[in-house]
Amino acid sequence: MCSLALRKNAQLHNDKSKMGSKTATPATSDELPKPKDMWHHLSKGTQARAMSNIKQFYKYFAIPGIGQLAGGLPNDHYFPFDTLEARVARPDRWEPTPNKPVEPPPELSNLSITRESDHSHLYIPKDSKAVDRVRKIDLASALQYGQAQGYPPLYNFLLEFTKTNSMTQVPYAGGPDIALTVGSTDGFSKCLQALNNEWIEGRDDLKDKEGLLCEEFAYMSAIGTARPRGMNIAPVAIDDQGMLAYGKGALEDVLENWDTSKGKRPHLMYTVT
C-alpha cells in the first residue's frame, strides 16, 4: 500500500513536470515534496525520546587541545592497535555466474588466490591527517566513540551507494536515508521498537495488542523477534512474486476480515522486496 502511494506521487509529479513542455526537466531533490509525517505510527517509547544535551558540545571536540569530559572518550593512545593491514580480494577473482537461480554456483573452494591480481593490500594507519571527517579513515577515529549515526566514512559511502544504485526514484525532498545496524535481525528489532508498542498478557488490554503482516513463509528470526513483543502474527498468502493482494488468504482478505476482538488491525508489514 505504501509503495502504491509512492508510485502515485511519483507519477503525479512526472505528469506535472511534462505539462507545458515537450522536454521535461527532471526535478531536483529540493523541488520535490517533503516526506509525509508518520509520527502517529511511532511507538510511545520512540515518541518520548529526547535529544541528548551532551551532543550539542560535540562541535567543540574537534578543536586541537580541547579536553572534553562530557562523553567519556578514551585517549586513543591507549588503543591496542597501531595499524590495520589485510589482503583484500578483488572483484575480478571470481567469474560472474549465469543469471539462472536453479543452477548452483561453482565450488569456491577450488579457486586459487596466489595470483597478484587476485588481491590488493589494505593499510589503515593509527591516525590520518585528513581534515574531512568523511575521508578520515584511521583507527583513532574508527575505534573511538562517535555519533549514533555511525562512522562517517562508512555512513556516507553507503548512503551515496543507496542513492545511486538501489533507491534512485524516491519522490520526496532530500532523497533516501539509511541507518547503520550490526545486522538484519538487529535492524529489524530496532524497527519494531520504533514502531510497535510492546504488549504483555495480563498487563495490557487486548484491544491494544498490535499485529504484524508477513508472508506465510517468512524468515524465522524476524518472526521470533516479533513474538516476544506480544504481536499478532498475520500470515498473508503468496505466489512466486510475493504477497497476494486479492483472493483467499490474501492481503485484502486478511485486513477486511480482521477480528478486532483479538487486537488492532496491523499497521506494520514485514516482507522481502
Question: What are the tens digits of pLDDT across the range 197-256?
Answer: 999 999 999 999 999 999 999 999 999 999 999 999 999 999 989 999 999 999 999 999
Grid coordinates standing for 207?
Answer: 484491544
Of 192, 256, 259, whose CA–CA distance to 228 is shortest? 192
Q: Which pLDDT belongs to residue 10?
A: 40
Asked if residue 212 lies in contact with residue 231, where contact means CB atoms within 8 angstroms, the answer is yes
Q: Which pLDDT belongs to residue 101?
A: 62
- Residue 268 CA to residue 210 CA, distance in Å, equals 9
Of 210, 212, 211, 269, whose CA–CA distance to 243 is shortest? 269
pTM of the model: 0.74
Strands 232-236 vs 211-215: parallel, antiparallel or unpaired: parallel
Asked if residue 208 lies in contact with residue 216, where contact means CB atoms within 8 angstroms, the answer is no
Phi and psi at residue 233, in whole multiples of 5°?
Answer: -90, 115
pLDDT in tens, the chain (273 residues): 333 333 334 443 444 444 444 444 556 666 899 999 999 999 999 999 988 877 777 777 777 777 777 667 788 999 999 999 999 988 888 777 666 665 555 565 555 555 667 889 999 999 998 988 899 999 999 998 877 888 999 999 999 999 999 899 999 998 999 999 999 999 999 999 999 999 999 999 999 999 999 999 999 999 999 999 999 999 999 998 999 999 999 999 999 999 999 999 999 999 987
3-state secondary structure 61-124: CCCCCCCCCCCCCCCHHHCCCCCEEEEEECHHHCCCCCCCCCCCCCCHHHCCCCCHHHEEEEEE
Distance of CA 83 to the CA centre of its chain: 30
